[in-house]
Structure 1
Amino acid sequence: NRSFHPQFSGYAGNLFSSGPYEKDDEEADAVYESVDRKMDERRKQYRERREREELEKFREERPKIQQMFSDLKRKLGTISEDEWSSIPAVGDARNKKQRTPQLEKITPVPDSLFARGLAQGATVNSLDSRQQQYGGINTPFPSGLNTPFPGTSTPGWTTPAGELDMRKIGQARNTLMGMRLSQVSDSVSGQTVVDPKGYLTDLHSMLPQYGGDVADIKKARLLLKSVRETNPKHPPAWIASARLEEVTGKLQIARNIIMKGTEMCPKSEDVWLEAARLQPNDISKAVCASAIVQLPLSVKIWIRAASLETDDKAKKRVYRKALENVPNSVRLWKVAVELEEADDARIMLSRSVECCPHSTELWLALAKLETYQNARKVCSGGGGGISFYTFGIFVILMTTDHYLIISVNSHIRVHVYPFQALLLKKLPVFFLNEINYLFKSQPQYLLSLSKGLSKCPRAIPLWRLLSSLEQKKGTLTKARAVLEKARLKNPNCPELWLASIRLEWNADIKNIAKSLMARALQECPSSGLLWAEAVFIEGRAQRKTKSVDALKKCEHDPHVLLAIARLFWSERKLTKAREWFLRTVKIDQDFGDAWAFFYRFELAHGNEDKQQEVLKRCINAEPRHGQLWQTVSKDIKNWKLKTKELLPIISSKVPVAF
C-alpha cells in the first residue's frame, strides 16, 4: 500500500499489527519506552539551558520598559519633597477639538409636531358647507374653471377633530401620582409614612422570591392540588400549598388556600397558626378567635393571639383568659408572669404552683420573689418530689430531674442545673463566679469541696472552683496542683487545660503557658476552645499563621471563627472582620458571646443601620450560651431583661484591645 509509505517520512503503518501481542512484546515495548524517557531527560537539561540562554539574550537585546527605567526608579528614593513638587505636570497632547468634544445637542420636539401627526391620521364625520356645495376644492383656476378635481377633498385634510395638549397630560400624571401617594399617608396626622430608605427594599420584597424554573412550580402546584382533592383532611397539604403560593409572590391566593384549609381541617393547630401568620394583623386576630373556638386548649394559639396585641394590658387579658382554659400550662404561666410587676407576679406564682405543683421552675420563680424565710417555706412546701436541704449559706433542693441551689447572701439567688451536672455536665459559669467570694472568707467550704470531689471526681466545675479559690488565697502552687490532679482524673478535657493555661498566663509565666498550650493541642487537637485561645497567646506576627492552623483543625467551630473575626478587627481590616462575625453568628446563633462582640464592633465602626440589623438578628436568635453572656444574663439584677436590653450591657463588657 503506497499510501502508508511517503517519500520522506517512511512507512507509517504497523507491519505486525495482525500478529498476536504477547508478553515478550510488552516487555520489549517497556524497555524501549524507558530508553526513550532516559534520552529525553538528557536532552531536557540541554534544551532548558538553551531556552534560558536564548531568553536572556532576547532580554538583553529587547529589554522591558520596566527594566529600562529601573535605575531611574531607584533614584526616586533620594528626591526631596521640593524637587518632587517642582516636577512639571504632564500636559494634554491632544488637539483642541479632541480636548473639548462637541456635546450632542438634543432639541425637544414642540407640541405642534405631535398635533400635526395626530391630524394626519384623524377622520371627521361632517363636511364643510363649501365642500357640500362644490364637492371639492373651492379655489377656481385662473382659466375660470370652477369644477374642482374629484377626490381632492378627502376627509382628513381639514382641521383635526382634537388637539394633543402635553401640558394637560403632565397635570393628569401629577394628579395620579398624588392620589397614589395619598393612599400611603397617615389619615390622622397627615404625615407620610413612606420610609425613604426602605422604600426600594419594600418594593423588592413584593417581588416573587422564587428564582427556580416555572415548570417546577406548575408541577408542584398540580401535585399539591391532587393531594388536596384526594385527601382534603390532610393539613400538611394545605400548608404546603399556601407556602408555595407565598414563595412565588401570590400572597392573596395563599391566604385563600389556607383559609379553605381551616374549613376542611378545623381541628388542626398548624393550619390555624399558618392562617394567622399569612393574614394581616387585624384579620389575624379574627382568625385566632375562630381557632380558639375550635381548639380552646391549644397553648400555641393562645400565645399567638397574645403576640398580636400591642398593648400590655390587652396581652394580660388574653393570657388570663388562656389560663382559665388551660390552667396547667407552665408555659402560659411563665409568659403571663413576665408581664407583671413583682407584687402581682408573686400573687400569680402562688396560684401557678397550686395549678402546676410539679413544676420546679414555677416554685423557684416564686422563691426568687420572697424573702429568705419565706423562700425556705416555699421550697419546703414544694410538691412533685422535691427534697429540701440546708448547706451553710445555700439551700439545696433535689428533685427527680434537677439540683436546685439557692444561694443566700444579701438577697436570694436561685440556680438550676441538671441532676447529672455534677458528674457529666458543666455547672453554670455565673454560679461559680458568684460564690467565689463567699468561699474565700469561709475555709470550711474548701473542705466541703474536697469531700465533694472525692465523691464526684468527674465534676469539672468543682475542680475549677477549687483551683480558683486556691488562686485567690495566693497559693498558686496549690491551684496548679489541683488542676494537674483534675487533668489526670479527667483526660482530654479542654476546659481543664484552658484553666491551667490561663492560670500561668495571668501569673505572667508566659513560657509555661505556651508549653501547656502545645501539650493541650496535642491531647485535644479538635478543641475549638483551645485553638481560639492559642491564637491570642501568640505574638502579633504569629497570630495569622496560628489562625490558619486553627481553621484547618476546626473549620466550623464558633470559637475559632470568633477568634479570627477579632483578629481582623485588631488589624483594622473591618470588612473582613464583619464577614467573619457574620459567619460566626450564622453557624451558631445560640453563641451569645459572638453576638456581643459583633454588636460592639458595629458600635465602634458601623452606622446606625448596621447596629440595628445586628440587634434585630440577635433578638430573633435569642442566644442562651457563652461564658460572658451567661455571667450577665443570669445575674439577679437582669432576671427580667430581654435580649434587646441584655445585648448592649454585655457588649459593653467585651474587650476591645486584643
Structure 2
Amino acid sequence: MVFIASPNHKTLTLNLNPNTTTLQALKFQIEQISNVPISHQRLFISQSLQLLTQRGSTLLADLGIKPYSTLTLHVPFFGGTLPHKNPKPRLDFLNSKPPEGYVAGLGRGASGFTTRSDIGPARSALELPDRAIGQLEEAGEEKGYDENQQFDDFEGNDVGLLAPDAKLDEDDEKADAMWKAVDERMDSRRKDRREALLREEIEKYRASNPKITEQFASLKRNLHTLSAQEWKSIPEIGDYSMRNKKRRFESFVPVPDTLLEKATLEKELVTAIDPTSTDLTAVRQGRDIVLSLKLDRISDSVSGLTVVDPKGYLTHLKSMSITSNTDVHDKNKARLLMTSLMKSNPKNPCVWISAARFEEVAGKMKAARKLIQEGCDECPKSEDVWLEACRLASPKDAKAVITKGVKFIPNSVNLWMEAAKLERDDLNKSRVLRKGLEHIPDSFRLWKAVVDLANEEDARSLLKRAVECCPLHIEFWLALTRLETYENAKKVLNKARENLSEEPAIWITAAKLEEANGNVSMVGKIIERGIRALQKTAVIIDREAWMKEAEAAERAGSIMTCQAIIRSAIGIGVEEEDRKRTWVSDAEDFMKKGSIETARAIYAHALTVFLTKKSIWRKASQLEKSHGTRESLVALLRKAVTYCPQAENLWLFGAKEKWLSGDVPAARAILQEAYAAIPNSQEIWLAAFKLEFENHESERAKMLLAKARERGGNERVWMKSAIVERELGNIDEERKFLVEGLKRFPSFFKLWLMLGQLEERLDHLEKAKKAYHSGLKHCPNSLQLWLSLASLQEKMIGLSKARAVLTIARKKNPQNPELWLASVRAELRHGKKKESDILMAKALQECPNSGILWAAALEMVARPQRKAKSKDALEKCHHDPHVVAAVAKLLWHDRKLDKARNWLNMAVMLAPDIGDFWALYYKFELQHGTEENQKDVLNRCIAAGPKHGEKWQPISKAVENSHQPIEAILKKVVAAAENNKQ
C-alpha cells in the first residue's frame, strides 16, 4: 500500500497491496516517499492511516475495495501545487475559488449555518453502510478516539474520505437515480386529491381573511351612483404612516444637585418646632382663620347648607350654548342641582329662568312652562320672569301672561313694549302703549313708539305732550319743530333752548329753519350767536363735531347753514401757523368723501384769510373745474388774478378756459392783461402763440414768436418758430431757426433731433447722421438722439451698425429700459429670435422692475408660458400700466372679455396721459363693446387729453395731424394698429 503524488500535485494515488507486511511499515514508507510538508493534507492522511491501522484489510473489504486496485483521491488545494523538496511558501490561496460546500470555520466550532443552497443535494460526507458506521463508533469508544485529535487549523474536518466533493461511483449514481424515480412516483400518487385539498384550505383561509380590495369591491362597484356633490364631500386621506417621519430629538440633561436637594427638603417631614416661633396660640388662631375661610366658601352662614353662588352659576349657565341633548351629560344630576337651587333660593328669578330653559333645551316644554309659572308666583315683581313666561307661553296664552305681569309691575317699560308687540294691528298697539304711558308718563321709549304709530296730526299733539313729560330729550323737540309751522317752530325752539341750554343741535336746527324759509341773512348770525352762548355756559366746542354737522347740513340740502358752520367753527382750536395746512387738508378730506360744498366753503373761508396764496387759489380753481360751472370757475380765476397778478398759471388757466369755451377774443384779452401784468413772461408769449396757432392764425403766431425772439426768447421759442415753419413748408426758414437756436442753446436736444429729422425727410442721410452725432456730443444722455441714430444706421448700413450704436448707448446710459427694448426689437425685425431672447433676459436682469420690458417679454413668450410670465411680471411691477395693458391683451386673446375690459380700464386710469392705452381700449370696445361703451371711452379720452405714447406721438406730431382733435388722432392710431397687424 503506497501513496504516490501525481505529477501535477493535484491528486494522491493509493495502491493497495495485501502482501504488505505491516501497516506500521506502510506508515513509515508513506512518510519517506512523500517527503513533503503535509500542512494541507495532514488531517486527511492522519485520519486515513488511523482508519487503516485500526481495521486493516477487514475495513477495505467492508468498503468494497478489492486488492491491487487503485483509489485516486482528489485533494483540494487553495492555490499552487504540492511542492517537492524544500518548497517555497505560497500565500495566494486567498485569491482562489473556495471548494463547493465549504463553510469557513465550521470544523473548528465557529458559529455559522449552512443552507441547502450552500451544500446542494449531495451528502456532507462519504456515505457508509450502517454496519461500518457502527463498527467505527465502537472502535472509537474502545480506544478513546477523539475526532479532534488531529484537527487541522486550516482545513477542519471536512477532508479526506468524508469530503463533500468526493466522487460517487456508477453504482451509487444508479442507486440515487432509482431512489429519485421512487420519490417522483410516490409524489405523483394522489396528486389531484392533494391539490384539491390544498385549494379548499386556501379558499377557506381567504374567506376568513379577505383582502382589503375584496372587502371594498362592492363599494367600488357602487361608486358610479355617487353624485358630484357627494364625490366632493369625500374627505382627503391623511398620511398616518411612520414613513419618512423624523423622530423628535429628545435630549436629557442631568438634574442639578440644587433641584434634587430642594425636592428632598420638600418631601422631608419636620417633626421639630422652630425654637424662634414658640407662640402656639398664634399658630392655633391662624389655623382657625384658614378653616373658617374654607367653611365660609362652601357653606351658607345662616342655614349651614352647602350652596353654589346662584348669580355666578346662572350667568355661566346662561352663556352656555346647548345645541343638543348630548351636551348635558347627566340630566338627572342637573335637575337635582336645579331643584336644590330652587329650594335654597326660591326668590331668585335667575334660578327659575335657568330651570325653565334647561327643560326647554331638554325638549320638555310643558315642564318648562310649569316651572316658569312657579317662578312668576315666587317672584311676581321680576320683569325678567314675566318676559320669560311670555316667551315660553303659547300664542293664545301669551297675552294673558303679559297682562298678569303688567298688573304686578305696572311701571315696567319692557312689559308694556312686549304687550304691544303681541298685538297685530297698529290701533291696538297704540292703545296698549297709551295705557302704558298712563302708568309711566316719562318713558322715552313708549312715547317714541306711540309717535311712530300715529299720523301727522296725532303725532303733533303727542309730541306736545311728550316734550312736557320728557323735556330733556332733544329728539322730541326737533321732531315737533319739523311738524309745526314757521312761527310755532321758532317758539318750540325757544322753549327747547330754555330746557336744554347746552345742546348745539337747537341752534343748528334754528339756522336750517331760517334758511328753509328764505331768511339767509339770519343763518350766519344764529350760528355765531349759538357758539357764543354755548361758550358762556362752559360748553366745550368740538371742532370735529361741528365740521361733521356742516357735512350733515350739506347732505340735508342746507348749504348756507353748512357754510355758516364752517366759517364759525373752522378756526377753533387751530394754531395760527397751522391754519393753511390744516384747512387745505380738511378740504381735501371732504372732497374724497364727496362733500363738495363743505370743501368749497373751507376754500372760500381760507381765501378770505390768505388772499395772496397762489396754491390755495389753484386748488380752489381745480375744485371749480371738476365740480363747478364754467361761469363760477371764470369768476374765481378773475378774482384770483386780482389778488395774485404775478401768478402765470392762474392767467393761463383763465385764458385756456375761455378758449375751450369757444370765446377766443376773451382768451386773447386775458393774455393781453397777463402780459401787461408780467411783461417778460415767456410762458405767456408761448400761450398767446399757441392760441393763435391752434386757431390757424399763422401770421399772428409768427409775429408773436418774432417779438419773443427779439426780447431774448428761450429755447422753446426757437423750437416753436421752427415748428411753425415746418408746418408752413418753409424748409430753409426751418433750418435757419434750428441752426440759430443751436448756436444759442447747444445743449437743448430737441433742436438737434428736429434738425436730424429735417435732413431725414429730405433724404440727406449723411447730414442727418452728422446732426445726430453732433447732438450726442452735447447731449450724451439724450435717449431720443441715440434711438434716432440707431434707426438711421439700421436704415443705411444694417443691423450690425445699429447694434453697435445701441451697445455704446447702453454703456453710457446704464439701466435704461428704452435702450434695451430698442436692441431687442432690432433683433426681432431681422428674424434673430434667439439673440432677442438673450438680450431680453439680460435686460430684465439689469432692469427687473421695468414695465415696458416685462410687457415686451409677454408679447415675445410662447403661448403656454404666458400665464407664468404674466404672473412674474405682476409680482415685479404690480401697478405698472404697461404690464396691466399687456395682461389685458392676453386676456383679450383668450376671449376673457369682461376681465380684459377691467384690465384695460385699469391701464387708462393708471396712465391717462399715454394715448396707446386709450387706442387699445377703444379698439377693444369697437370689436366687443356696445355703442354706449365706445362713446364713453371716446369721451374719457378727450377729457384726459393724452400726449404721450410710442404709437401715439408719431401720429399726433405728424405735420398733417398738427391741428387734428384728439378724437381724430385716436381713430388714426387705431387704424394704424390694424394696418400693422395685417
TM-score, scaled to structure 1: 0.54
- In terms of mean alpha carbon deviation, does 359-368 or 575-584 score higher? 359-368
Relative to structure 1, the CA distance from residue 314 to residue 54 in structure 2 (aligned partners, 3 Å threshold; closer, same or farther) is: farther
Deviations, residues 202-250 of structure 1 (Å, cap 9, x unaligned): xxxxxxxxxxx98993699899623588649955555556566666666
For residue 269 of structure 1, what is the aligned residue in structure 2? Answer: 614
Relative to structure 1, the CA distance from residue 599 to residue 539 in structure 2 (aligned partners, 3 Å threshold; closer, same or farther) is: same
For residue 651 of structure 2, what is the aligned residue in structure 1? Answer: 302
What CA distance in whole angstroms lies between the structure 1 residues aligned with 2:681 and 2:633?
24
For residue 745 of structure 2, what is the aligned residue in structure 1? Answer: 399
The amino acid that maps onto 1:527 is: S
CA contact (8 A) 2:583 2:602 kept: yes
Cα shift at 1:574: 1.7
What CA distance in whole angstroms lies between the structure 2 residues aligned with 1:53 and 1:398?
94
For residue 60 of structure 1, what is the aligned residue in structure 2? Answer: 220
Corresponding residue to 1:360 among 715, 724, 742: 715
What CA distance in whole angstroms lies between the structure 2 residues aligned with 1:548 and 1:512?
24
Corresponding residue to 2:698 among 342, 350, 358: 342
1:600 maps to 2:946: no
For residue 871 of structure 2, what is the aligned residue in structure 1? Answer: 548
Corresponding residue to 2:681 among 329, 338, 362: 329
For residue 548 of structure 2, what is the aligned residue in structure 1? Answer: 217
The amino acid that maps onto 1:321 is: E
CA RMSD of aligned residues (A): 4.5
CA contact (8 A) 1:235 1:268 kept: no
CA contact (8 A) 1:228 1:237 kept: no
Cα shift at 1:573: 1.9
Pick 1 or 2: higher relative contact order, CA cutoff 8 A, min separation 6: 1
Cα shift at 1:536: 1.9
For residue 581 of structure 1, what is the aligned residue in structure 2? Answer: 904
Any gaps of 5 or more consecutive residues in structure 1? 1-49, 69-116, 118-212, 380-387, 390-394, 408-413, 416-430
Relative to structure 1, the CA distance from residue 369 to residue 457 in structure 2 (aligned partners, 3 Å threshold; closer, same or farther) is: closer
Report 1:439-478 matches (<5 A).
442-443=765-766, 464-473=787-796, 475-478=798-801
What CA distance in whole angstroms lies between the structure 1 residues aligned with 2:940 and 2:684?
25
For residue 64 of structure 2, what is the aligned residue in structure 1? Answer: none
For residue 638 of structure 1, what is the aligned residue in structure 2? Answer: 961
2:751 aligned counterpart, secondary structure: strand
What CA distance in whole angstroms lies between the structure 2 residues aligned with 1:454 and 1:289?
47
What CA distance in whole angstroms lies between the structure 2 residues aligned with 1:274 and 1:489?
42
Q: Determine which structure has more spread, i.e. the larger CA radius of gyration.
A: 2
Cα shift at 1:292: 3.6
Relative to structure 1, the CA distance from residue 293 to residue 485 in structure 2 (aligned partners, 3 Å threshold; closer, same or farther) is: closer
Cα shift at 1:594: 2.0
For residue 125 of structure 1, what is the aligned residue in structure 2? Answer: none
1:538 maps to 2:842: no
Relative to structure 1, the CA distance from residue 261 to residue 519 in structure 2 (aligned partners, 3 Å threshold; closer, same or farther) is: closer
Relative to structure 1, the CA distance from residue 352 to residue 504 in structure 2 (aligned partners, 3 Å threshold; closer, same or farther) is: closer
The amino acid that maps onto 1:368 is: I
The amino acid that maps onto 2:688 is: A
Deviations, residues 454-491 of structure 1 (Å, cap 9, x unaligned): 99877655554454334324644444455456556666
Cα shift at 1:58: 7.6
For residue 837 of structure 2, what is the aligned residue in structure 1? Answer: 514
What CA distance in whole angstroms lies between the structure 1 residues aligned with 2:633 and 2:575?
29
CA contact (8 A) 1:436 1:465 kept: no
What CA distance in whole angstroms lies between the structure 1 residues aligned with 2:656 and 2:602?
24
What CA distance in whole angstroms lies between the structure 1 residues aligned with 2:766 and 2:733?
29
Any gaps of 5 or more consecutive residues in structure 2? 1-209, 229-426, 428-543, 552-564
The amino acid that maps onto 2:948 is: H
Deviations, residues 387-421 of structure 1 (Å, cap 9, x unaligned): x56xxxxx7344276245278xxxxxx57xxxxxx
CA contact (8 A) 2:749 2:775 kept: no
What CA distance in whole angstroms lies between the structure 2 residues aligned with 1:55 and 1:628?
71
Deviations, residues 282-315 of structure 1 (Å, cap 9, x unaligned): 4544444444433333333333443554222332
2:904 aligned counterpart, secondary structure: helix
Deviations, residues 514-553 of structure 1 (Å, cap 9, x unaligned): 3443444445444333322222223333333332232233
1:316 maps to 2:671: no
Cα shift at 1:51: 14
The amino acid that maps onto 1:349 is: L
For residue 226 of structure 1, what is the aligned residue in structure 2? Answer: 571
Deviations, residues 86-107 of structure 1 (Å, cap 9, x unaligned): xxxxxxxxxxxxxxxxxxxxxx
For residue 652 of structure 1, what is the aligned residue in structure 2? Answer: 975
What CA distance in whole angstroms lies between the structure 2 residues aligned with 1:491 and 1:250?
48
Relative to structure 1, the CA distance from residue 243 to residue 470 in structure 2 (aligned partners, 3 Å threshold; closer, same or farther) is: closer
Relative to structure 1, the CA distance from residue 338 to residue 460 in structure 2 (aligned partners, 3 Å threshold; closer, same or farther) is: closer
For residue 17 of structure 1, what is the aligned residue in structure 2? Answer: none
What CA distance in whole angstroms lies between the structure 2 residues aligned with 1:287 and 1:462?
44
What CA distance in whole angstroms lies between the structure 2 residues aligned with 1:512 and 1:621?
39
Count, aligned residues: 429
Deviations, residues 345-375 of structure 1 (Å, cap 9, x unaligned): 22233334445x2422123323433445555
The amino acid that maps onto 2:852 is: L
CA contact (8 A) 2:912 2:946 kept: yes
Relative to structure 1, the CA distance from residue 281 to residue 61 in structure 2 (aligned partners, 3 Å threshold; closer, same or farther) is: same
CA contact (8 A) 2:793 2:802 kept: yes
The amino acid that maps onto 2:611 is: P
What CA distance in whole angstroms lies between the structure 2 residues aligned with 1:51 and 1:214?
78
Which structure dedicates a bigger proportion of its chain to helix? Answer: 2
CA contact (8 A) 2:850 2:877 kept: yes
Cα shift at 1:598: 1.9
Relative to structure 1, the CA distance from residue 307 to residue 477 in structure 2 (aligned partners, 3 Å threshold; closer, same or farther) is: closer
Report 1:163-182 matches (<5 A).
none
